[in-house]
Amino acid sequence: MTAMAEPEVGRARVRKEDERLITGRTRWTDNIALPGMVHMALLRSPTAHARITAIDTSAAKEMSGVIAVYTGDDLDPGGEVGMPNAWPITPDQKTPRRPMLAQGTVNFAGEAVAAVIARSAAEAEDALAEIDVDYEDLPVVLGLDNAVADGAPLVHEDMGTNKSAEWIFDSAAAGSGGDVQQAMSSSDVVVTRRFRQQRLVPAFMEPRSVVVDPTAPQLTMWSATQVPHILKTMVAMTLGLPEHQVRVIAPDVGGGFGGKLAVTPEECAAVVVAQKLGKPVKWTESRSETMVSAHHGRDQMQDISISASRDGTITGLKVDLLADMGAYLGIVGGGVPVLGAFMFNAIYKIPAYRFSCTTVFTNTTLTDAYRGAGRPEATFAIERIMDELAAELGMDPMQLREKNWIKHDEFPYTTVSTLTYDSGNYEAATAKAMQLFDYDGLRREQAERRARGDRVQLGIGISTFTEMCGLAPSRVLGSLDYGAGGWEHAAIRMLPTGKVEVVTGASPHGQGHETAWSQIVADQLGVGFDDIEILHGDTQSSHKGLDTYGSRSLAVGGIAVVKAAEKVIAKARKVAAHLMEASEDDLEFADGKFTVRGTDTSTAIQDVALAVFAAHDLPEGVEPTLDSEAVYDPENFSFPHGTHLCAAEVDTDTGQVRLRSYVSVDDIGKVINPLIVEGQMHGGLAQGIAQALYEEAVYDEFGTLTSGTFADYLVPSAMDLPSFTTDRTETAATSNPLGVKGVGEAGTIASTPAVVNAVVDAVRHHGVDDIEMPLSPMRVWRAVHKGDTAAGGPGAEAGGGLGSIDSAHGGAQ
């Protein structure tokens, strides 16, 4: 009689958390005020590299409202505390100690030097100006090529080098492919380029903030962090606190993009200060502080060579990276470019591959994970050079890709970098994208504009990408020397009134976990969407977890939720059978009800929950609880993929780029909530396009960040972006029961090369074969009119441009 309820999974539900997030009527960390709370402000170094010869805090201590002023030596007299790096990429990696407050030297402009504690935030900030620091300048190390040059001055003199580590993958050594040198020397064509991945600022909306309450044996820390669970363990280890006496709460968190995947000096300093004073302490940064002291992203120099036969079959790929770590290593640090190592081969069948990466210190803000973390950099380089190879061969760039990609009937496919892609259908996504885009029509218009020498030239950019998501199988992380596993935890609490609390270890910071998890649980347990509350981010209620980054929440954390729900149903089945005096085997569970097969006798899971709460009549040996816990460790990564097509108009008189249309067809497997997917795609595309056209963290010759405000660091708005045409194909992941893959980073990873390829395509007939990012109007204009396409930063030699056939390798035609 009752129709099957419409499944929640797949519904485009408006997010249940949005009202409070958008109006700000919620527990942002900075909204928290505790009795007796004091405020911390940090004095930051104006200089990029200097020896601190003296700090005089006496005048600051006399200022109104000031309670204390601390230097690095005050907080850590022994000089023993250093922020954690969880991923030493090689056994001999050089890892400098990163103190809470600078001790002895400052190594980047923006490093905290002293802390003022005052009754109010305003008084704390007023007193900063009264601290007198004597700096003795040291030579400033800037730029990757400069930092690794012979005789370069050193960021950390005691290390004797600016190189942190060198990490190498060689398919010949790994047994997953041939020798790349051999492949290249016997190939018809070798194309070589140097691409620069400029430095970016994650630019999350909510600045970082921390409140520490030491007024109980168990210290409580609120932090605007992506990683409350990691933070709890790491703060305990870093500061030598007993872990059971640390509680971390990430209340609602306003974005992160990887920028809050960190254990920061500010967080640790707040703990030490709170303990010293015995009072709650709050620190909330200004946007200016975020720009210079929260970690940056990208910043690589990529030397890439690809070889192929004349018919377009790829024979080898060689990548040499220099990766700028800034002055210290962050929690992932050198692991970011290493993640990229697995993605340069992308969706292609490449028989020989060699990757090397040298991580390098400079006197700049440190770099670490930023949306995509290693994978956007890799995707950019391979998708850019595929276009260059196509131009060299005189092939259509899509045909070249098609010739080399893994066919849909070849999955599972083990790549040259040793990952096994479980599923995918590049043909289907591409066919759909080409049709939505009107590829042939735009190519015709492009030819017409070229023929008549139109002021506005049209270009088409392609990006057929994949990424590794769902970080990560713990054994794989172990093999890469990462400091933790990649599992995720979930728990379900069945309340007496039939309502459900779901605890997740994946701590959201804007992604919509509460809505998506509710949809999953509603279907699994057959309870109403509105009867489910998702608890997260507080290590007291969510005692176990590995948090949110790397598009892992759904593909790992979501599966843990499913596993926990299965356990609830298994427990409830026993009780339901007892209540209905039936055999467990005769019960069917659907739409929240256990029904005795072939009868209309049924009992709802809510009734079972109440019966279990009362516990008056339970089967022998059954504990009075339906609550469950599950920890899920994925067997494999997931591999979303897609085809992105961009049409760009270039005004050749001014160099201005206008994106005319943008089509993305993504395959992220099964979709829980299409509206959330749409939001992730739009935001991701905006961020990836921003790297291509707008954003760059720029340092001057003294190591001062000149793009230190949003007036200079250009984050685009909707006004600057085209209307996106987003669509999907759906090839279920085979590695998890929901068939999901993850969508958090897809747009960012795919879009940057699509845009740059489109712009280069528009002006290739002017002799342009690369333009350094971001593609500012001046850079585009110079490329068209002056042949200036420099990769390498201000003053560097022109890079990718000339001599695409490398005669040194014997392949010149």
Partner 1 sequence: MIPAPFDYVAPSTVDEAVRALADAGEDAKVLAGGQSLLPVLRMRLAAPTTVVDLGKIGELKGVRDEGDAVVIGAMTTHYDVQRDPLVHDHALLLARATDTVADPQVRHRGTFGGSLAHADPAGDLLAPALALDAEMVIQGTGGRRTVSAAEFFQDFFTTSLAPEDILVEARVPKHTGWTAHYEKFNRVAQAWSMVAVAATVRAEGGTIAEARIGLTNMASIPVRATAVEQALVGRSADAETIRAAAEHAAEGTSPTVDGNADVEYRQHLAKVLTGRAVEAAMAG
Residue 128 or 462: the one with the smaller Cβ distance to partner 1 is 128
SS3 767: coil
Strand partners, 135: 52
Q: With binding defined as CB under 8 A, does residue 93 bind partner 1?
A: no
> Pick from 151, 155, 46, 149: which is nearest to 98 by CA?
155
- Check if the beta carbon of residue 274 is closer than 8 Å to that of residue 280: yes
Smallest distance from partner 1 to CB 687, Å: 14
Q: Select the span of 67-75, 161-169, 394-402, 773-781 touching partner 1 (CB under 8 A).
A: 773-781
Q: Which of the ranges 145-153, 467-475, 624-632, 717-725 carries the binding residues for partner 1, by CB under 8 A?
A: 717-725
Residues in Cβ contact with 107 at an 8 Å cutoff, skipping those fewer than 6 apart? 48, 49, 96, 155, 156, 327, 328, 363
Site pattern 628..657 for partner 1 (x: CB under 8 A) = -------------------------xx-x-
Q: Would you say 198 or 504 has its CB closer to partner 1? A: 198
Q: Does 121 bind partner 1 (CB under 8 A)?
A: yes
Selected binder of partner 1 within 604, 714, 796, 805 (CB under 8 A): 714
Render 177-217 in DSSP notation, one character per residue. SB-HHHHHHTSSEEEEEEEEEEEE----SSPPEEEEE-SSS
CB of 785 to partner 1, least distance (A): 9
Rounded Cα distance, 584 and 134, in Å: 77
DSSP-derived 3-state class of residue 291:
helix
Structure tokens at 243: 């872990």
Shortest reach from residue 779's CB to partner 1, in Å? 10
Judged by CB under 8 A, the residue of 4, 719, 795, 802 near partner 1 is: 719
Residue type at position 27: R
Distance CA 321, CA 473 (A): 26
Question: Is residue 717 a contact point for partner 1 (CB under 8 A)?
Answer: yes
**Residue number, 453 or 598, with CB nearest to partner 1:** 453
Nearest approach, Cβ of 720 to partner 1 (angstroms)? 5
Burial of 288 from C-beta contacts in 10 A (0-12 / 13-18 / 19+): middle
Shortest Cβ distance from residue 41 to partner 1 (Å)? 9
Task: Give yes or no for residue 186 binding partner 1 (CB under 8 A).
Answer: no
Q: Is the CB of residue 811 less than 8 Å from the CB of residue 190?
A: yes
Cβ 440 to partner 1, closest distance in Å?
32
| Residue 286 touching partner 1 (CB under 8 A) | yes
7 secondary structure, DSSP code: P
Interaction of residue 166 with partner 1, rule CB under 8 A: no
Least distance in angstroms from the C-beta of 657 to partner 1: 10
Q: Does 122 bind partner 1 (CB under 8 A)?
A: yes
**C-alpha 266, offset from chain centre:** 21
CA 693 to chain CA centroid, Å, is 20
Polymer length of the chain: 813
707 touches partner 1 (CB under 8 A): yes
Contact range with partner 1 by CB under 8 A, out of 298-306, 496-504, 548-556, 712-720: 712-720
What string marks each residue from 660 to 699 as x (binds partner 1 by CB under 8 A) or -? ----------------------------------x---x-
* Contacting residue, 146, 181, 288, 418, with partner 1 by CB under 8 A: 288
Chain center to CA of 512: 16
Stretch that binds partner 1, among 216-224, 282-290, 408-416, 619-627 (CB under 8 A): 282-290
**Minimum distance of partner 1 from residue 24's CB (angstroms):** 16
| Contact flags string 782-801 toward partner 1, x per CB under 8 A | x-------------------
Question: Would you say the C-alpha torsion 358, 303, 743, 694 has a positive or negative sign?
Answer: positive
* Shortest spacing between CB 323 and partner 1, in angstroms: 23
Segment 250 to 269, residues that bind partner 1, using CB under 8 A: none
715 forms part of the interface with partner 1 (CB under 8 A): yes
Nearest to 688 by CA among 356, 457, 431, 463: 463
Task: State the nearest-atom distance from the C-beta of 659 to partner 1, in Å.
Answer: 13
If one asks whether residue 33 binds partner 1 (CB under 8 A), the answer comes out as: no
- Binding footprint of partner 1, residue count (CB under 8 A): 29
Host H or E run for residue 335: helix 335-341
DSSP string of 445-498, one letter each residue? HHHHHHHTT-SEEEEEEEEEEE--BS---HHHHHHTT-SS---EEEEEEE-TTS
**Residue 19: CB atoms within 10 Å:** 11
Q: Which stretch binds partner 1 (CB under 8 A): 121-129, 296-304, 614-622, 639-647?
A: 121-129
Measured between alpha carbons, how far is 767 from 788 in angstroms, rounded to an integer?
10
> Which one, 497 or 654, has the nearer CB to partner 1?
654
CB 365 within 8 A of CB 293: yes
State the residues that interact with partner 1 by CB under 8 A.
121-122, 125-126, 129, 286-288, 653-654, 656, 694, 698, 706-707, 709, 711-712, 714-717, 719-720, 776-778, 781-782
